[in-house]
Amino acid sequence: MNKIRPIFLFLIIGVLLSTLFSSGQIENPDTHLRLTQTRIFLEKHRLGLPNDVGEDFHGNIAINQVGERFMVYNLGQTLFFIPIYYLAELTSDSEGDCYYTAAFLVSFVNLIIHSLCCFLLFRIALSVGASKNKSYFVAFVFCFTSYSFSFAQSTYEHHFEMFFILAGYYFILSNSTKNTGLLAGLLIAIGLIFRTTTVLVLPGLLLLANNKQRLYLILGVVPGLVTILFYNYYRFSNPFESGYNLAWHLAWGNSTVFWSLTSIPQNLFGFLLSPGKGLLIFSPTIILGFLGMKRFWNKHNKFALSILVLSGLYLILFSMNFAWHGSIWSFGPRYILPILPLIYLPMIEINIKKCYYPLLILAAFSQVLLMSVNYKRNLLEQNIRYHGIDEQQYIYNIDNIPYIVQIKQLILILPKNLSGILVNDFPKSAWKKEIRAASSDHVLNYSIEKNSVNFWWIRVFQWKTSLTEKTLTIFILISTIIGCFTIFKNAKKIIK
Condensed to tens digits (0 to 9), the pLDDT of residues 155-180 reads 999 999 999 999 999 999 987 667 89
Both 78 and 188 in one domain: the answer is no
Domains contained in the chain, number: 3
Last residue of a domain, one of 106, 125, 140: 106
Question: 265 and 198 share a domain?
Answer: yes
Q: Which of 99-113, 115-129, 205-219, 479-493 has the lowest mean pLDDT?
A: 479-493
pLDDT tens digits, 256-270? 899 999 999 999 999
In a domain, 482, yes or no: no
Average pLDDT of span 392-397? 95
Q: What is the mean pLDDT of residues 85-101?
A: 94
> Quick check: is 464 in a domain?
no
For residue 426, the model assigns a pLDDT of 86
What pLDDT is stored for residue 419 in this prediction?
Answer: 87
Task: Please indicate, yes or no, if residue 82 is contained in any of the structural domains.
Answer: yes
Over residues 8-16, mean pLDDT: 96
Quickly state the pLDDT bin for 80 (edges 50, 70, 90): very high
Measure the CA–CA gap between 154 and 30, rounded to whole angstroms.
Answer: 11
Q: Do 80 and 146 share a domain, yes or no?
A: no
Identify whether 484 is part of a domain: no
Buried-exposed string 82-107: b where 16+ CB fall within 10 A, e elsewhere: eebbeebbeeeeeeeebbbbbbbbbb
Same domain, 48 and 125: no
- pLDDT score for 488: 85
Reference 203, options 310, 115, 288, 87; nearest CA is 310
The answer on 253 and 197 residing in a single domain is: yes
User: What distance in Å separates the CA atoms of residue 419 and residue 391, rounded to the nearest whole number?
Assistant: 34
pLDDT of 246 > 70? The answer is yes
Does any domain span residue 481?
no
Answer yes or no: do 138 and 230 share one domain: yes
Average pLDDT of the residues in 114-122: 98
- pLDDT score, position 468: 95
Closest-CA residue to 117 (of 10, 209, 17):
10
Whether residues 214 and 362 fall in one domain: yes
Residue-level pLDDT at 163 = 98
Phi/psi of residue 321, nearest 5 degrees: -90, 145
Q: pLDDT at residue 483 above 60? A: yes
| Cα torsion angle, 221, 343, 73, 115, sign | positive
pLDDT at 254: 86
Q: Is residue 176 part of a domain?
A: yes
Domain boundary among 368, 393, 411: 368
pLDDT band at 239 (very low <50, low <70, confident <90, very high): very high
Query: Which domain does 91 fall in, by range?
Result: 29-106
The answer, yes or no, to whether residue 201 has pLDDT greater than 60, is: yes
Does position 490 have pLDDT exceeding 90, yes or no? Answer: no
Same domain, yes or no: 252 and 386: no
Taking the C-alpha atoms of residue 229 and residue 180, their distance in angstroms, rounded to an integer, is 25
Tell whether 288 and 436 lie within a shared domain: no
Question: Both 74 and 133 in a single domain?
Answer: no
pLDDT of residue 438: 84
Helix (H, G, I), strand (E, B) or coil at 414: helix
Give the residue from 349, 368, 387 where a domain finishes.
368
Clarify whether residues 326 and 339 are in a common domain. yes
Predicted pLDDT at 175: 72
Would you say residue 469 lies in a domain?
Answer: no
For the segment 302-311, the average pLDDT, to the nearest whole number, is: 98
Which one, of 453, 485, 355, 345, lies nearest residue 25 by Cα? 453
Q: What percent of the chain has pLDDT over 70?
A: 98
> Which residue type occupies 260?
S
Whether the predicted pLDDT of 356 surpasses 70:
yes
- Is residue 386 located within the same domain as residue 242? no
Residue type (1 letter), 399: D
User: If DSSP codes are grouped into helix, strand and coil, which group holds residue 397?
Assistant: coil
Look at residue 381 and tell me whether its pLDDT is greater than 90.
Answer: yes
* Euclidean distance between CA atoms 341 and 286, whole angstroms: 9
Question: How far apart are alpha carbons 8 and 226 in whole angstroms?
Answer: 34
Query: If you average pLDDT over every residue of the chain, what do you get?
Result: 95
Is residue 262 in some structural domain? yes
First to last CA, the chain: 11
